[in-house]
Amino acid sequence: MIATTSAGQAFDTLAKTYDSDFTNTLIGRAQRSAVLTDAFRIFKGRPRILELNCGTGEDALQLSGRGWRVLALDASQQMIARARFRKLREAPLADLRFQQMRTEDLSRIEETFDGVFSNFSGLNCVENLTAIAALLASRTTIGTPLVFCLSTRVCIWETAWYLLHGKPAKAFRRWPGRHRTSLQGNSVDVFYWSLSQLQTIFAPFFTLREVRAIGLFVPPSYVESWIANHPWLLRMMIGLDSFFSRLPLLRTLGDHMLLHFEKTEGAQP
- Which spans of this chain sit near ligand SAM (rule: CB under 6 A)? 7-8, 11, 23, 53-55, 58-59, 74-76, 79, 102-104, 119-122, 125-126
**Least gap, CB of 121 to ligand SAM (angstroms):** 5
Residue 236 CB contacts under 8 Å (≥ 6 apart), including other chains: 217
**Least gap, CB of 142 to ligand SAM (angstroms):** 26
Q: Which of 34, 43, 37 is nearest to 213 (CA)?
A: 34
Tell me the residue nearest to ligand SAM as measured from the CB: 55
Q: Which of 238/267 has CB closer to ligand SAM?
A: 238
Q: Which of 158/267 has CB closer to ligand SAM?
A: 158
**Least gap, CB of 130 to ligand SAM (angstroms):** 15
Strands 178-183, 48-52: pairing kind:
unpaired
Q: Which of 23/207 has CB closer to ligand SAM?
A: 23
Question: Cβ distance 197 to 123 under 8 Å?
Answer: no
Q: Which of 55/145 has CB closer to ligand SAM?
A: 55
Identify the three-state secondary structure at position 99. Answer: strand
Looking at residue 25, the DSSP 8-state letter turns out to be S
Q: Which of 54/223 has CB closer to ligand SAM?
A: 54
**Least gap, CB of 51 to ligand SAM (angstroms):** 7
- Starting at the edge strand found earlier in the chain, the sheet holding 115-118 runs 96-100, 69-74, 48-52, 115-118, 145-151, 256-263, 206-214
**Least gap, CB of 75 to ligand SAM (angstroms):** 3
Which residues face 207 on adjacent strands?
262
Q: Which of 112/128 has CB closer to ligand SAM?
A: 128
**Least gap, CB of 13 to ligand SAM (angstroms):** 10
Residue 158 CB contacts under 8 Å (≥ 6 apart), including other chains: 170, 171, 174, 220, 255
